Amino acid sequence: MKKSEHMRFLNAIVRKPGINYSEGITTAGLGKPDIKLALRQYEAYCRSLEKCGLFVEKLEPAHSFPDAVFVEDTAIVTGNIAVIARPGDLRRRGEENIVEKVIKKYRTVVRIEEPGTLDGGDICQTEDRFFIGISGRTNHEGAMQLKSILSHYGYSASLIEVHHTLHLKSGFNNLGNNRLLIHEQFYDNPAIKKYEKIIVPEKEAYAANVVRVNDHLLVPEGFPETLAKLKQLNIPLIILDVSEFRKMDGGLSCLSIRF
What is this structure's pTM?
0.96
Check if 254 is active-site. yes
- Inter-residue contact 252 to 218 (CB < 8 Å): yes
pLDDT digits (tens, 9 = 90+) for 227-254: 999 999 999 999 999 999 999 999 999 9
pLDDT digits (tens, 9 = 90+) for 63-79: 999 999 999 999 999 99
Question: What average pLDDT is seen over the chain?
Answer: 96
Q: What is the pLDDT of residue 4?
A: 39
Indicate which residue of 46, 52, 124, 254 is catalytic: 254
Q: What is the pLDDT of residue 3?
A: 41
Of 17, 14, 12, nearest in space to 245 by CA: 17
Check if 183 is active-site. no
Please give the Cα distance from 44 to 170 (Å, whole number): 21
- Inter-residue contact 184 to 199 (CB < 8 Å): yes
Q: What is the pLDDT of residue 99?
A: 97
CA–CA–CA angle 183, 90, 166 (5° rounding): 5
> Is 3-258 a domain of CATH 3.75.10.10?
yes
115: preceding bond cis by omega (within 30 degrees): yes
Please give the Cα distance from 183 to 204 (Å, whole number): 10
- Give the strand pairing for 196-199 and 179-182: parallel
The structural domains of the chain, with segments of one domain joined by +, span 3-258
Q: How confident is the model at residue 7 (pLDDT cuts 50, 70, 90)?
A: confident
Of 208, 206, 205, 251, nearest in space to 230 by CA: 208
Indicate which residue of 46, 52, 167, 183 is catalytic: 167
